[in-house]
Structure 1
Amino acid sequence: MTTGERPGTRPAVRRRVRAGRLGARTLAALALVGGAVLGLAAPASAHNYVIAATPASNSTLTELPKTFAITTNDRLLDIGDTDSGFAFRIVGPDGRYFENGCVDVEGPTMSTAAALGKSGKYQAEWQIISADGHTVSDSYDFTWKAPAGFTPATGTTKPPTCATAGNGSTAAASTTGTESGTSASTTSDALWIGAGGLVVVAAVVAVLLLVRRRPAPAADDADED
């Protein structure tokens, strides 16, 4: 032992160094856990988004297409081919509605028969069910410049409903057209949160086992001559 050195000084320093190393490894493990949880949470918010639209947002339409349509980045969730939860509304400058309430969902695309009134600024309001089960709705503006000889539709004062062929019943399709991605699927979110919790628990157990897996070497605590 070095003259003047108090007994146990060097072993105490070595223990602090080992504790610091274990703390660094613990922080690194927790950082990895945080990244894993964030990676699990990301898919829960991966709603469909629009990649193409007819008419396009803020465009000027000079010829009436056969249908109005929006196409998203992924398939749409149309359970039983009922079009339930889907809507496509066209609101004219006078506040009248120029759709018939019916939509057609095919893969990533939702469409509706096109009809417009007099020239002016219109608003398209839409609502879809994403592939992840979440409801997404939004709206955008476009301008209509009717060609010569065009006969404008009269529109309706209230949003129409689509008559189901064969029985005369109606299927309402409601949407505010003012928000995007505000409705969440609580079931799918709960599954992702639960999975993240399991990862956290497993990581904490792994860290505790790492800290306790073996005692420090006896040589570290021995006094040096």
Structure 2
Amino acid sequence: MLGAQPAKAHSNLAGSSPKADSTVTAAPKQVTLTFGEVIRGNFSTVVVTGPDGVRYGDGKASAVDKTLSQPVKPLVAGKYTVAWRVVSADGHPIQGVFTFTADLPAAPSPSPTEPAPNVSEPAPSQSPAAATEPTDDGSSPLPWVIAGVAAVLALAGATLLARRRRTT
């Protein structure tokens, strides 16, 4: 006789745009993840990190049913890492990481027919503090993803404990 098959307990990543391990030739305006089941948007995060170590997320990710979208800032050419974490409708947190490559044309250089800048005007100055401040700490998104998963697990444990106390 055939044995019982285990039931699939929670959602899985069904697809993405850009696709995992793909190369895009036009910069997307957002990264979209599609899951096999409905996800809980209020517990979802997406971190898009560029080849320069800079995070390219532009605002908060939004979830609708099975889809999670993260708007992104204009991309530069290179390899991007997408780290994500969601909570399935059944309460199970799932996470993953994938990469894609942006093969984008170089920014166009100024046309030789454009007028030269007026050299008699002083160049805008930058404050000494702004010149020495780092723009990115170069940290990995992994600690944030792990911290998020730990928070979700703690919340799920507290919820289960509260439910058990109500039923007894």
Structure having the higher helix fraction is 1
Q: Is the 8 A contact 1:89 1:101 kept in 2?
A: no
**Counterpart residue number, 1:157:** 136
Q: 1:67 matched to which residue of 2? A: 30
The higher radius of gyration belongs to 1
Partner of 2:86: 128
Report if the CA contact (8 A) 1:87-1:101 is conserved.
no
Question: Aligned AA for 2:145?
Answer: T
The unaligned stretches of length 5 or more in structure 1 are 1-34, 151-155, 160-173, 192-225
Q: 2:72 aligns with which of 99, 114, 124?
A: 114
Q: 2:15 aligns with which of 52, 55, 75?
A: 52
Partners in 1 of 2:137 and 2:34 — Cα distance? 26
Report how many aligned residue pairs link the two structures.
Answer: 124
The TM-score with structure 2 as length reference comes to 0.61
2:99 counterpart of 1:99: no
Amino acid at match of 1:157: D
Normalising by structure 1, report the TM-score.
Answer: 0.47
Query: Take 2:32 and 2:48, find their aligned partners in 1: how far apart are those partners?
Result: 11
Contact 2:44 2:84 in 1 (8 A): yes
User: Against the structure 1 CA distance between its residues 101 and 139, is the aligned structure 2 distance closer, same or farther, given a 3 Å change threshold?
Assistant: farther
Name the aligned partner's letter for residue 147 of structure 1.
P
Alignment correspondent of 1:4: none
> Once the two structures are superposed, what CA deviation does each residue of 1:35-82 show, in whole Å capped at 9, x if it has no partner?
7xx77xx44x6221011101111000111223211000001124xxxx
User: 1:93 touches 1:121 (CA, 8 Å); kept in 2?
Assistant: yes
SS at match of 1:136: strand
The Cα offsets for residues 119-148 of structure 1, whole Å up to 9 and x where unpaired, read as 111101111111111111111111111135
1:176 offset after TM fit, Å? 4.1
Gaps of 5+ in 2: 109-134, 139-143
Give the match for residue 98 of structure 2: 140
Structure 2 Cα separation of the partners of residues 143 and 122 of structure 1 = 6
Distance 2:137 2:12 in 1: 28
Task: Please provide the CA RMSD for this pair.
Answer: 3.3
**Percent sequence identity over aligned pairs:** 26
2:23 partner amino acid? T
